[in-house]
Structure 1
Amino acid sequence: MKTILFLLAILLTATTLVGQGLSDCRLQYGQSFEFTDCFLEDCSPFLDDSRIHFAYLTVPEDYGNPDGRLLKLAIVFIKSANGNPEPDPVIHLSGGPGAKSISVNRIKAFANHPFSQNHDLIFIDFRGIGFSEPTFCPEFQEALIQVISQNLMPVEATEETLNQYSDCFNKLEAEGINLNQYNSATVVRDLEMLRISLGIEQWNLWGISYGTRVAQTYLRDFPESVRCAIIDSPVPMGYAMWGEQTRTYQRSLTAFFDACKESPECNNAFPDLEERFYHAMHSLNETPLMFKHKNAPGSYVYYNFYNMHLIVQQLLYIPDFYPLLPWLIKGIEERNKDIFQNLSPQFEGQILNYSDAMFVTVLKYDNGLILSDYHSEPNDPLHDALNYFDNVVLMVKQIDFIAQDSLEARPVFSEKPSLILVGSLDPITPPFYAHILKQSLPNSILFEFPGRGHGPTRDTECAKIIASDFLNNPYSEPDIHCLIEIETNPINWVTKMYYNPRIATFAQQMFVQKRWTLLLGTALLFLTFFVSVIAGFISFLRKKKKPATPQIRIRNIISRLSALFAILLLFGLGFFIGKAGNEQAPLLLMGLVKEAKPVFYLSLIVLAGTLFSWVWFIRALKYSSKAGNILYGLISFSLLWFSVLIFKFQLFPN
């Protein structure tokens, strides 16, 4: 009954959501649109959120054969925050090709995006991706993690990867999937069918990375359906970008190290950072960083020269990591397992949320005729560094069962008002791509964000403000005061901190995994401390005639104080972990803010107190009651447990 009422409520509010009331409508290609229950892995954050709605659009796999296979495409709506949206919603076009548009974290983040203040937002997983049909070889992503986790040379990794691609495409062919229907032009037809189904006259395109490629195709094929386009980290049509990823990565690295050299703060704290980086990376050829992982081949993950470069290249997408990359380089030099053991789940999660099979399929159709012929020289410090991308291009070249369209190899000309944004340190779509695209969009304005990476409208407040200003009035220049402020301090370098990568391990085990040993030990420490305080208070009120022996008094004082300092250390640790999580999550991989340093002097007091508490516990045994021995014995054991914790996670001042 609740589900029925929920669906009725959605249908009754559909007019304000997308422009016209909708039920289950069918149009000329047999597609249908229907609202549905939440289809995410975790729906709990949205059960009581009236702004979030879920739907499916059913479309033909092949628009030339509308009676053939049908596909259900997953859609999420975020209603405007002000409850009175403009008639032209924003359609989000995801990157990749192969990246999801829909996820729990993305919906949470974009529900508070400035775009959603006055406009409804629409998110769609393109065909074959995420929650949309069909499923494109999810097992390939698991296999790719296995390849990247091994200490393989490029020729070995290439052989394994290409074999996995072949297995995937053979499987898709056996399932009767028409791979010629998975490309940007067909995705745009799906989007146009969605617009028609929703009764929207015009909408605004918001493309990021590959999504900008889709936006250009949409501007070419259905220009009258578009009010304006926000093009973030552009992929210019007609330019042979695929195959030159090592070159764009090199450019990003050089720009990053130059930024550090030009900053007295960074250069003084991390002298010769560029040389140290290349030396550390090349040393991984001989001694790769390795750590235990229960799901890895041989139970170990290896980060060699090639795997580590892929990780660094991916981190350069994210500007929040820039202030901390010098510390990451320090971690590589020291072969610090904790940093990369804690980074590994995020890296693997990113791979699992992607579809490399779709990546290759779309690239063949869209870009197969214009692949870059760039090759790094053998003496280049980055030679074969991004073997992952080399394998993608190699597979695209080998495929002979997917058509190629020369129209997709040409630039798109459009007079629609467009905003182009790019990060100066973007390792995959560098600023010169934006300038190439601007030449074919005469009514566009372009802004480059210093010290920012890939997708500024996702993670840079200034980019969000400028883009929102443009969205509200695309025919006037947006306010760029915030951009001027960024230019004065592009990267807020972290040159001092409490450096201890094991803090992240502690936080992971305590607050995420909820290890029973940590929870039980903490509970015992708190419980015994408060019981001892209450017992002492009751004893004081009763004013016993027979005073406690010196041994008992000293035992009680030392044990209580030691437990109190241990509790204060835990509170301080929790406070600064929470502070880092809320303000600068990547910092946790390396440690905590420098203000946390004094907290760890408490660990020295706790260790000394633990030693003395055991000494006086033993001395007071024959003078104390049985209950007293049990209580203070438990306190001593909890302090001993906490001392082990201090050594395990290196909770010492530095």
Structure 2
Amino acid sequence: MRRSRILRWAAWLPALWLASAATAGAAEDAAPAACRVKGLKHEVLCGHVTRALDPAQPGGTTIAVHYVVVPAAARYKRADPVFFFAGGPGQSAIALAGSVLPLFQRLNHRRDLVFIDQRGTGRSAPLACDAEDGLPLAQRLDAKRGLARLTACLASLRELPHGDLRQYTTSIAMADADAVRAALGAPQINLVGGSYGTRAALDYLRQFPSRVRRVVLDGVAPPDMMLPVSMGQDVEAALARLFADCEREPACSTRHPRLRMHWQELLGGAPRRASVVDPLDGQPTEVSIDADLLATAVRGPLYAPGLAAALPFAIDEAAAGRYSALVGLAGALGGGARAVRLFEGMHFSVVCAEDAPDPSASPTSGLGAVYQRPYAALCRDWPRGSVSPAFRDLPTSPVPVLAFSGTLDPVTPPRHGERVVKALGPRARHVVVPNAGHGVMAIGCTREVTHRFIDAEDEAQALAVDAGCLARLPRPPAFEPPRPAPPPSGAAR
């Protein structure tokens, strides 16, 4: 695991690479050819399709949309590959291939797996901002500096050959994905999307329903969820549930009897100066702890119940004036791995067009204001692509859809999945996994359920797949650090 990073300005980005190269001006498609990809042990196939940057100007600037095919192991493979759509928005699917492939190994026996770097990510006309690795902790936690960095990034992105930031919406990207399907000669494909990737999959299904065989959604992000607003509501609900679960767990309630009160005291007492150990170099440094930093610090750990289990300890430590545990925990998600890096230019191009229709609107209260303010500030000047009213529609699905939600998810909780599955109709099924966080594909038997759903020959069999193995997942118990054992009775003092 790589060393962790703390990026205050990126802490509210939804979470989830290879060397990037500008590809504007590509002249023709590149058929899949043998290649090596970082993170994948075996040789795979790499290719790209040439696409107009602006679909309304097919004779204008073009970009290369890159993809990787992991060939099926069986000699006689199925004709319907599995397409994986990454999260973020802003993650490179190719960079994630190494970590995702083990989840789909059974599917990969008879089906090709396809990973597309969505336009604006990875090697597909990347929209990357400068990373903050190596900066002192105080600078990484400085929100004003973060805003200035992204504002400068916007100016530099607009100077790129592919810098028309209006051309990176989900709908345009899904037309790219269909061009990849056509290039591979697949009459139909199976879609698997995680987080924002579920929005991508839903839009592909909306635009190209006859070309889809099955759909798997992991952590449902509907096209009308308005991320900056819903994020605050869902994080507050997840944090409240953490407090309630601690109060019901005897060990946690005994160790942390005033947890909820301590959190409110922390928010009410901010801002304050504190000495915090930098998790990168272990050196103490003076930083300002304000309410915004506290709110972003708890959000990341809530994504993963294993990390959230340490929040009671970290919050109580902060209430005692010791903030290192909370700040360190905030940067633990992803471990700083390059595979989970967001291409921030693509992220804001999507969110400002699709999730922030009124950037001048007043922020909501509570945690919602913390997550909404940065988007409001940046989306005010960010070029915004056109979004069709049909984009937000969820027509009845003509094919089986299997949606997964975790009850502890702080960004795509079951309430979103319930609404989407209801709109998609009788061919959609919702599996709610108790005590799971953001993304359940790697948990327990989920990969087996996914395999059986996609592999089933009959639609009825696919929708009837048994997911009972996911019904009794426990919440990890609250973390407590090792404590020195008391001296034996009668020992000299």
TM-score bracket, normalised by the shorter chain, equals 0.7 to 0.9
Report whether the alignment pairs 1:369 with 2:354.
no
What does 1:44-59 align with in structure 2 at a 5 Å threshold?
A: 46=41, 49-50=42-43, 52-59=44-51
Question: 1:137 maps to what in 2?
Answer: 128
Alignment match of 2:420 (pick from 423, 433, 437): 437
Report whether the alignment pairs 1:453 with 2:437.
yes
**Distance in 2 between residues matched to 1:452 and 1:392, nearest whole Å:** 28
Count of equivalent residues = 452
Question: 1:407 maps to what in 2?
Answer: 390
Alignment match of 2:183 (pick from 197, 217, 220): 197
The structure in which a higher percent of residues are helix is 1
Per the alignment, do residues 499 and 433 of structure 1 end up closer, same or farther by CA in structure 2, a change over 3 Å counting?
farther
For the residue of structure 1 that corresponds to 2:63, the secondary structure is strand
Question: 1:475 maps to what in 2?
Answer: 460
**Distance in 2 between residues matched to 1:85 and 1:366, nearest whole Å:** 38
Question: 1:355 maps to what in 2?
Answer: 343
For the residue of structure 2 that corresponds to 1:186, the secondary structure is helix
For the residue of structure 2 that corresponds to 1:227, the secondary structure is strand
**Which one-letter code corresponds to 1:466 in the other structure?**
V
For the residue of structure 1 that corresponds to 2:423, the secondary structure is coil
Per the alignment, do residues 172 and 287 of structure 1 end up closer, same or farther by CA in structure 2, a change over 3 Å counting?
closer
Q: What per-residue deviation string (whole Å, max 9, x for no partner) do you get for residues 15-71 of structure 1? A: xxxxxxxxxxxxxx953433253354xx6x62xx25x44433333323333343332
Per the alignment, do residues 180 and 73 of structure 1 end up closer, same or farther by CA in structure 2, a change over 3 Å counting?
same
Q: What per-residue deviation string (whole Å, max 9, x for no partner) do you get for residues 595-627 of structure 1? A: xx89xx9xxxxxxxxxxxxxxxxxxxxxxxxxx
What does 1:1-40 align with in structure 2 at a 5 Å threshold?
A: 30-40=28-38
- The percent identity for this pair of structures is 21
Q: Report deviation, 1:133.
A: 2.9
Question: 2:472 maps to what in 1?
Answer: 485
Question: 2:6 maps to what in 1?
Answer: none
Per the alignment, do residues 60 and 144 of structure 1 end up closer, same or farther by CA in structure 2, a change over 3 Å counting?
farther
Q: Indicate if the aligned counterparts of 1:233 and 1:421 stay in contact, CA closer than 8 A.
A: yes
Per the alignment, do residues 216 and 495 of structure 1 end up closer, same or farther by CA in structure 2, a change over 3 Å counting?
closer
Report whether the alignment pairs 1:227 with 2:213.
yes
Per the alignment, do residues 146 and 90 of structure 1 end up closer, same or farther by CA in structure 2, a change over 3 Å counting?
farther
Per the alignment, do residues 206 and 400 of structure 1 end up closer, same or farther by CA in structure 2, a change over 3 Å counting?
closer
- Which structure is richer in relative contact order (CA contacts within 8 A, separation 6 or more)? 2
Using structure 1 for the length normalisation, give the TM-score: 0.61
**Distance in 2 between residues matched to 1:293 and 1:448, nearest whole Å:** 35
Q: Report deviation, 1:359.
A: 1.4
For the residue of structure 2 that corresponds to 1:395, the secondary structure is helix
Q: What per-residue deviation string (whole Å, max 9, x for no partner) do you get for residues 72-100 of structure 1? A: 33323334456654332211111111122
Per the alignment, do residues 260 and 497 of structure 1 end up closer, same or farther by CA in structure 2, a change over 3 Å counting?
same
Q: Report deviation, 1:162.
A: 4.5
Per the alignment, do residues 144 and 430 of structure 1 end up closer, same or farther by CA in structure 2, a change over 3 Å counting?
farther
For the residue of structure 2 that corresponds to 1:460, the secondary structure is coil
Report whether the alignment pairs 1:100 with 2:72.
no
**Distance in 1 between residues matched to 2:356 and 2:329, nearest whole Å:** 37
What does 1:141-290 align with in structure 2 at a 5 Å threshold?
A: 141-142=131-132, 149=139, 152=142, 157=143, 160-176=145-161, 177-280=163-266, 282-283=268-269, 285-290=271-276
**Distance in 1 between residues matched to 2:221 and 2:359, nearest whole Å:** 13
Alignment match of 1:337 (pick from 303, 321, 324): 324
Question: 2:20 maps to what in 1?
Answer: none
Question: 2:70 maps to what in 1?
Answer: 78
Q: Indicate if the aligned counterparts of 2:86 and 2:193 stay in contact, CA closer than 8 A.
A: yes
RMSD: 3.6
Gaps of 5+ in 2: 1-26, 489-493
Per the alignment, do residues 402 and 160 of structure 1 end up closer, same or farther by CA in structure 2, a change over 3 Å counting?
farther
Bigger Rg, structure 1 or 2: 1
Q: What per-residue deviation string (whole Å, max 9, x for no partner) do you get for residues 524-556 of structure 1? A: xxxxxxxxxxxxxxxxxxxxxxxxxxxxxxxxx
Q: Indicate if the aligned counterparts of 1:451 and 1:491 stay in contact, CA closer than 8 A.
A: yes
For the residue of structure 1 that corresponds to 2:228, the secondary structure is coil
**Distance in 2 between residues matched to 1:144 and 1:167, nearest whole Å:** 19
Q: Report deviation, 1:129.
A: 0.6
**Which one-letter code corresponds to 1:313 in the other structure?**
R
For the residue of structure 2 that corresponds to 1:478, the secondary structure is coil
Q: What per-residue deviation string (whole Å, max 9, x for no partner) do you get for residues 80-123 of structure 1? A: 456654332211111111122222x6514523535435433211
Q: Report deviation, 1:280.
A: 4.1
Per the alignment, do residues 287 and 85 of structure 1 end up closer, same or farther by CA in structure 2, a change over 3 Å counting?
farther
Alignment match of 1:88 (pick from 80, 84, 91): 80
